[in-house]
Amino acid sequence: MQEKVANADALAFIAPVYFVGFPAIVKGWIERVFTLGFAFELTPDAWKGDIGGRVPLLKHGKALIIDNLRRTRVPCRIWRGDESAH
């Protein structure tokens, strides 16, 4: 599955959110696919708890996340490169 993610032009995640989290099957897939060394690396400071020490390795230009939370008027979030729409 990592090969498919790595070769994709863009990523789209469409999943319900139950009790402030994704269902177990979605969580499990994310944990199996987006692993250390594939999706991100950690600096020595990150191993000590510094969240800024996470180094992204995936370079997708676009990602679309659709969930069922009613936080905003827009039902989805689109991420493009370094900018993020909340």
Q: What is the mean pLDDT of residues 74-80?
A: 55
pLDDT of 5 > 60? The answer is yes
Residue 53's CB is within 10 A of a number of other CB atoms, namely: 15
Q: Which long-range contacts (CB under 8 A, 24 or more apart) does 49-54 make?
A: none
The Cα–Cα gap between 66 and 63 comes to 10
Question: If pLDDT is split at 50, 70 and 90, which confidence band does 85 have?
Answer: very low
What digits encode the pLDDT tens for the residues 8-58? 988 888 888 888 788 899 899 999 999 999 999 999 999 999 989 999 999
